Amino acid sequence: MIKIVFASKNKGKVREVRAILEELDVNLESLEAYPNAPDVVEDGSSFFENALKKARVISEFTGEIALADDSGLEVDALNGQPGIYSARFAGEGADDNQNNQRLMELLNGVPAKDRSAAFRCVLVLYHPDGNYESFDGRWDGFISETVAGTGGFGYDPVFLLPESGRTVAQLTSEEKNRSSHRAKALQALKDHLRKRSYPAKKES
Ligand SMILES: O=c1nc[nH]c2c1ncn2[C@H]1C[C@H](O)[C@@H](COP(=O)(O)OP(=O)(O)OP(=O)(O)O)O1
Ligand SMILES: [Mg+2]
């Protein structure tokens, strides 16, 4: 069984990544096991750069393999914003609700057909020897005209799936974890781990 530290402070991500990786022979530790882990400043210019930095800093701190997720929402009518700034769209320390409100305000008056958007997720798996791999996924949809649903986290209550007419926050966690940007990136990670078939180390 390999041990991987998930370098994220987002409880929603932790829940989803645990659920999706459950079937693998992986011991996924969260940062809660490392209360003194440093805060990572996300100053990269892409999802990849930020994910790489989070994974590298936590792998170097713990001496373990680390996995990081940098993700966000790209809205076409806003030229791809908020993108890498998704978590702080309504300002540093903004909560999900404030970010969603800011988005609804900026898109006020934009008709449904022009509200297309995509969730993006980039994962980096960083090894203590300095090697790393990255995986990504995207999920296309629209920004709804009203906030709806209570599931998930982040922008889920405003991300509308045209095929079902529901927001992601109106899906069950199983439904979200079958189709999301994070699920797709994690599927690529799973394929990689299986191919690489880490030796099943016998240890206590
Ligand atoms: O499935 C999702 N459903 C809804 N919203 C989502 C999703 N995935 C990412 N998002 C949003 C949340 C946050 O506004 C930003 C991620 O920011 P990002 O810096 O990657 O994560 P974070 O700061 O919450 O946790 P951490 O950096 O410790 O992993 O995109
Ligand atoms: Mg972050």
Per-residue pLDDT 10s for the chain (204 aa) are 899 999 999 999 999 999 999 999 899 999 999 999 999 999 999 999 999 999 999 999 999 999 999 999 999 999 999 999 999 999 999 999 999 999 999 999 999 999 999 999 999 999 999 999 999 999 999 999 999 999 999 999 999 999 999 999 999 999 999 999 999 999 999 999 998 765 444 444
Mutate to test the pocket of ligand 1, among 123, 155, 156, 181 (most ligand atoms within 8 A of CB): 155
Which pLDDT value is given to residue 65? 98
Task: Report the distance separating Cα 144 and Cα 157, nearest Å.
Answer: 8
Which pLDDT value is given to residue 198? 56
Which pLDDT value is given to residue 74? 99
Q: What separation in Å is there between the alpha carbon of 154 and the centre of ligand 1?
A: 6
State yes or no: is 76 an active-site residue. no
Which pLDDT value is given to residue 197? 64
Interface predicted TM-score (ipTM) of this complex, two decimals = 0.99
Which pLDDT value is given to residue 95? 98
Which residues line ligand 1 at a C-beta cut-off of 6 Å?
A: 8-10, 13, 42, 69-73, 86-87, 99, 119, 152-156, 180, 182
Question: 89 to each of 11, 44, 99, how far by Cα in Å?
Answer: 19, 16, 6
Q: Which atom of ligand 1 is nearest to the CA of 89?
A: 14
Task: Report the distance separating Cα 132 and Cα 116, nearest Å.
Answer: 33
Task: Report the distance separating Cα 118 and Cα 136, nearest Å.
Answer: 13
Name 23's Cβ contacts closer than 8 Å, sequence gap at least 6: none
All structural domains of the chain, each given as residue ranges with its CATH number in brackets, are 2-196 (3.90.950.10)
Which pLDDT value is given to residue 201? 43
